[in-house]
Amino acid sequence: MNSLKLTSINGEKNKRTVITVDNVKVGKDFVVIGGPCSVESEEQTLETARKVKEAGGDMLRGGAFKPRTSPYDFQGLGLQGLKILERAKKETGLPVVTEVTDPRDVSWVCEYADVLQIGTRNMQNYSLLKEVGKVNRPVLLKRGMYSTLKEWLNCAEYILAEGNPNVILCERGIRTHETYTRNTLDLSIVPSVKEVSHLPVIVDPSHGTGRLSLIESMSLASLAAGADGIMVEVHYRPEEALCDKDQAMPPEMFARLVKKLRILQSSMIGMNEQ
């Protein structure tokens, strides 16, 4: 991995990047990000944000610009969605993670959001990577659905090379022959990342499995595997969700999940010193 001048660990085994977003320290704390797949309305986003906050979530996710498989699917509210996310942050205090899909939107998304997300389909969109490399907001870089670890880290390298050192990697499942799950959640990538890079890595079990019933166990497994956090799709009324409704978690289930994660987290204290 010679090309990874900035993302690789370069022999310093204990080198870890910690990214501060308001009061949250990604790479140090176990960070729980929850929120709707997309911002559909002010009520839906604000209500979901309140539930995420109540459950003990650390950050709010929500898409304003949605890259969808079909051009006829809901494309997101755009700038209007960003304004709603800003209001949700104002009310709950949760920092906001939102996806950016167009280089022309990067500076505008920075005006409203705390963390810029690059989606799986845009992992190798180099002009977009260069653009987010120029801003002073952390970037959450999702793994491409067909990408190797090396390809993924090279994309992070693009961002770091432009001058933005704050990249959070996010495993979201890869394409395999398996059809029962939407994707195959590759948890082995978490300790793999830790072996070669100092960047924090989190897991998105919602897209990773596409099945509500599997999200909890995969979240706990992510924590056990050494991930720095998880990102889960939560919707205040999953049956009404405009996208990814099969994997949207109802707030009560999310609250239970956060509780279990915190129990596991406390029982893991001191484990790494063994």
* Residue 246 near other proteins by CB under 8 A: no
Local structure of residue 259 (DSSP, 8 states): H
CA 64 – CA 83 distance, rounded (Å): 9
Instruction: Please tell me what DSSP assigns to residue 202.
Output: E
Which two structure tokens, joined as six digits, stand for 51?
Answer: 């539930």
Using CB under 8 A, which of 40, 58, 99, 105 touches other proteins? 105
Identify which range of 26-34, 101-109, 137-145, 151-159 contacts other proteins by CB under 8 A. Answer: 101-109
Rule CB under 8 A: is residue 102 a binding residue for other proteins? yes
- Per CB under 8 A, the segment of 22-30, 104-112, 202-210, 262-270 that binds other proteins is 104-112
Q: Which two structure tokens, joined as six digits, stand for 179? A: 């059809």
**CA 252/CA 210 separation, integer angstroms:** 19
Rounded to the nearest angstrom, the gap between the alpha carbon of residue 263 and the centroid of all alpha carbons in its chain is: 22
SS3 24: strand
Contact criterion met (CB below 8 Å) for 162 and 189: no
Q: Which one among 53, 75, 108, 196 touches other proteins, defined by CB under 8 A?
A: 108
Candidate segments 50-58, 106-114, 118-126, 228-236, binder of other proteins by CB under 8 A: 106-114
Is residue 244 near other proteins by the rule CB under 8 A?
no
The least CB distance from residue 217 to other proteins, in Å, is 42
User: Shortest CA distance to 66 belongs to which of 123, 8, 130, 121?
Assistant: 121
- x/- mask, other proteins, residues 43-82, rule CB under 8 A, reads ------------------------------------x---
Query: Which one among 20, 107, 127, 176 touches other proteins, defined by CB under 8 A?
Result: 107
List the one residue from 73, 91, 111, 246 that touches other proteins (CB under 8 A): 111
Name which of 56 and 67 has its Cβ closer to other proteins: 67
What residue has token string 């090279």? 154
Please tell me whether residue 89 adopts helix, strand or coil conformation: helix
Residue 105 Cβ vs other proteins, minimum distance, rounded to whole Å: 7
DSSP state of 271: G
Which of 42, 110, 56, 77 lies closest to 258, judged by CA?
A: 56
Residues of the shown chain interacting with other proteins in the complex, contacts defined by CB under 8 A: 79, 102, 104-105, 107-108, 110-112
